[in-house]
Structure 1
Amino acid sequence: MSPDRALGDNYRVLMEKVRGGPPEITAVVHPCTPAAIAVVADATEAGLIAPILVGPEARIRAAAEEAGRDVTAYRMVTASHSHASAAEAVALVRAGEARLLMKGSLHTDELLGAVVPTATGLRTERRISHAYVMDVPGYPTPLIITDAAINIEPTLMDKADIARNAIDLAHVIGIPEPRVAILAAVETVNPAMRATLDAAALCKMADRGQITGGLLDGPLAFDNAINEAAAREKDIVSPVAGRAEILIVPNIEAGNMLAKQLTFLGDAEAAGVVLGARVPIILPSRADSLKTKLASCAVAVLLVRAATKAAPGLT
């Protein structure tokens, strides 16, 4: 993928949606590399966030000097190491001092380790899940892919929350009734393939009002989900098939490979966000372009302003 590819119309619309509002106070966890500092500085200059840098002060300042960025105006909260940085950042959110959480240079598992505890973290009644909002060249709408980063082998009830989180996200970015495709290797129910059974159950849950706000169909193979000609070839009659706006994958391997294939072979851009916690969580990747990192921040800003169940905010 060319890192210089301009973001498409979908992302330009996304950035327009956040323009003009106040920057959201964001606890940035352990930003101890030049790349992490650069993301913070660029998002701040774009008016998206007002950062609180949480971590070892000497290492943060050294990273900023190496990056050639001035962080003297940013608030800083000292923590001795990455685990402590995650705990301090979550505490800032719980205290109402920050409305967003952003990963710096620590591992995602370390950050989520501070997020998920019931007593001290940021959990809600929803399962926490990850979603990519993808701008795929040639595809007419944003394409949300979930979950490619957090839930390894989601259960049926996990997938129900993953779908609910993704539907809330779709509403926030301007899709009022998203078409949700539950992916599997085939488009028929096969008892030997759990993904097809889960897909059928999720669709029935939607029929009974347990999942609302979107149109669900599945199981659908990937081609039938995003290509109308492929759906017609299989005689699939559905308001979702061929026109999906949300793709629910069977497991983390499928989601991760699909998102990366679209990015590195399909020249797509992917803005990622963690949903279902008390605040949105931004997980920038070192491989992301600058515009993608800013788009990830923009998605999180829209979510926190909307205060959906996928990011309900602080009470």
Structure 2
Amino acid sequence: MKLQPVRTFSQLLERAQKEKTKKVAIVCAENDIALKALASAVAKKIARPVLIGDENNIREKISALDLTAELSTATFFQARTVEQAAEYAVALGRNGKVDILLKGNLRTDQLLRAVLHKEKGLRRGELLSDILLYEDKCSGKTRLVGITDGGLTPQPNLQQKIALIRNAVPVMQALGISRPKMGLMSATESISEAVPSTVDAQKITEKAGELFTDCDVFGPLALDNALLKSAAEAKGISSPVAGAVDCMIAPNIEAANMTAKAVKYIGGSTCAHVIMGAQIPVLIPSRVESAEDKLYAIALGVLIDAD
């Protein structure tokens, strides 16, 4: 029986609970919020804990947080330095010993340096990219919408935008959207040489039938006519993607990052995001994200990695 698409984060968690439990490794696990999130994931039976870092310090953290029971089955890997922890984590992922990596008490660049190592890393695709999900209510019904790339690709060129689409499609399909609608975003839906992102969007849209077999792609779209059918109709945009975008491909990192933070901090939406383009899902939540946000990110990783 075909499953209905996941529309909320609570549904995301419920769907993840139906999948095989995944080994989730916290890299530099001396981090309160990451430990709380993983403990919750273990309690929800979606994760088996792997903790990388200074074992004594991690155990002290676990005890202080009163998480001893939840994390009693954890496997520990001793690492004295941040670099060593990141290298161990990547090696475990490369060898199939862990299924998902979760950033702990280290910087994103420190983890990604190991992930991107030419000989020992986890890179699989053309590039790594960040896909963020939030609960969108523009249509009057809640649904999960993606935004990419607000974390890794500063100024994507034409080929990189194509790669961003390809990285994002499996995320949306993991939610049960068999043929996701991908919107190439700009400040305007009108094509203008003065706004280069509109020209890129036009070029990709014209070749979309040749480039993509598993999604529908259209652009340029502005934010309103990407999410609202009424706005798309008012502007005379007839594409089925317009007004119903599942994932927004932003023109640059600034647009993606600011849009993502706006929906979270101004709109009040819960968010979860994942790095794609590696052999396994890599979760790099920011330091200000809550344990709940990180729990949903773990659940998202479970669905993406589902057998």
- State TM-score, norm by structure 2: 0.91
Superposed displacement of residue 26, structure 1? 1.9
Q: What are the superposed Cα offsets for residues 94-143 of structure 1, whole Å, 9 maximum, x if unpaired?
A: 12211111111211111111001221100113321110121124543210
**Residues of 2 paired with 1:108 and 1:172: CA distance?**
24
Counterpart CA distance in 1 for 2:19 and 2:258 is 35
Counterpart code for 2:285 = P
Question: Which position in structure 2 is the counterpart of 1:255?
Answer: 256
One-letter amino acid of the structure 2 residue matched with residue 155 of structure 1? N
| Residue of structure 1 in register with 2:214 after alignment | 213
Q: Distance in 2 between matches of 1:222 and 1:214?
A: 20
Identify if the C-alpha distance between structure 1 residues 215 and 21 changes in structure 2 by more than 3 Å, giving closer, same or farther: closer
Number of the residue aligned with 1:127: 127
Aligned partner of 1:103: which letter? K
Q: Count the aligned residue pairs.
A: 298
Letter in 2 for 1:216: V
Letter in 1 for 2:157: T
**Superposition CA RMSD, Å:** 1.7
Comparing 117-126 with 296-305, which one deviates more in the overlay? 117-126
Map of 1:90 onto structure 2: 90
Letter in 2 for 1:258: T
1:39 to 26, 32, 37: 37
| Structure 2 equivalent of residue 228 of structure 1 | 229
Q: How does 1:91-240 map to 2 (within 5 A)?
A: 91-139=91-139, 140=141, 141-208=143-210, 210-240=211-241
Q: How far apart, CA to CA, are the structure 2 residues paired with 1:39 and 1:203?
A: 40
Three-state SS of the structure 2 residue aligned to 1:54 is strand
The answer on whether the counterparts of 2:182 and 2:216 sit within 8 Å (CA) in structure 1 is yes
Which of the numbers 9, 13, 16 marks the counterpart of 2:14? Answer: 16
Query: Quick one: which amino acid aligns to residue 53 of structure 2?
Result: G
Q: Do structure 1's residue 280 and structure 2's residue 281 form an aligned pair? A: yes
2:29 is equivalent to residue 27 of structure 1:
no
TM-superposition CA deviations, 1:271-313 (whole Å, max 9, x none): 111111000112233433443322211110111114xxxxxxx
Give the Cα–Cα distance (whole angstroms) in 1 for the partners of residues 270 and 207 of structure 2. 32
Cα separation, 2, equivalents of 1:9 and 1:231: 22
Q: Secondary structure at the residue paired with 1:305?
A: coil
Find the aligned partners of 2:190 and 2:300 in 1 and give their Cα distance: 34
Q: Compute the displacement of 1:185 (Å).
A: 0.9
Q: Does the residue aligned with 2:184 lie in a helix, a strand or coil?
A: strand
Amino acid at match of 1:115: V
Whether the aligned pair in 1 keeps the contact of 2:20 and 2:306 (CA below 8 Å) is no
- Cα distance, 1:137–1:290 mapped onto 2, change above 3 Å: farther
- With 24-33 and 133-142 compared, the bigger mean Cα shift is at 133-142
Partner Cα distance (2:242, 2:207) in 1: 18
Give the percent of matched residue pairs that are identical in Structure 1 and Structure 2: 32
Equivalent residue in structure 2 for 1:68, among 66, 69, 85: 66
Runs of 4+ that moved beyond 4 A: none
Give unmatched runs, 5+ long, in structure 2: 1-5
Opposite residue 15 of structure 2, the aligned amino acid is K
